[in-house]
Amino acid sequence: MYTPRHFEEHELSALDALIAADAFVTVVHQHEGAPYASHLPVLYRRDGAAVELRGHWSRANPQWRSIIDQQVLVIVHGPHAYVSPTWYTAPEQSVPTWNYVTAHIYGHMQVDDDPGSLESIVTELAELYERKHDSNWRFDQVTTETRRDLRGIVGFRFTAERIELKFKLNQNHPLANRLGVVTALERIGGDDRNAIAALMRERIAKESANET
């Protein structure tokens, strides 16, 4: 991923926060000579620098059949927002841009077809998202017939080998421009704009603290 020095992020706590906010990732590999992508919810675990993702495909998805022994790219999608030059102190000296945060994680997949592992993945994913939506569906409540649906999925375990974090938040601009962007994004509102504004404020505060 092209990442100018201004936009590099090295703290893995930033990846923790990205995944906690949105664990619906894009998994990319080579299939029959061309890039192939799947969009999947994942379970995330980090122990120091060791990062692991678990999830599952539909068995009908061909990705699981050809992904073994390949280097895989997992893209974690963060918030993003358009930035107008009119929010800067000298609009005539700039052009529009886009602020965003994302993570690219490279590693290898292990395919998991064990019924117990599949049940664990489905159970944990359901518990995570049911809790977020204030609901209480549980896999252990399903009928025997529904439990057989596990035969229609294939699990995976992804081990990260390289992690790139890009936080493009106008760090290459003077403070006045950055504050102008924050103010405009907060005024317009919306989940992504508010999230970008909050991240910008966080980094401005961190820079200020480091200078004192």
Asked, for residue 65, whether it belongs to a domain, the answer is yes
Provide the domain count of the chain: 1
Asked, for residue 118, whether it belongs to a domain, the answer is yes
Cβ–Cβ < 8 Å for 18, 53: no
In sequence order, what are the residues at sequence separation of 6 or more whose Cβ sits closer than 8 angstroms to the Cβ of residue 142?
none
The tens digit of pLDDT for each residue in 46-65 reads 999 999 999 999 999 999 99
The residue segments making up the domain with residue 40 are 5-172
The dihedral through the CA atoms of 83, 84, 85, 89 has a sign that is negative
CATH of the domain at 148: 2.30.110.10
pTM comes to 0.93
Asked, for residue 127, whether it belongs to a domain, the answer is yes
Asked, for residue 168, whether it belongs to a domain, the answer is yes
The tens digit of pLDDT for each residue in 80-96 reads 999 999 999 999 999 99
Asked, for residue 180, whether it belongs to a domain, the answer is no
| Confidence (pLDDT) at 212 | 66
Asked, for residue 184, whether it belongs to a domain, the answer is no
| Amino acid in the structure at residue 14 | A
Burial class (CB in 10 A: 0-12, 13-18, 19+), 41: middle
The SS3 call for residue 199 is helix
The whole-angstrom separation of Cα 68 and Cα 65 is 7
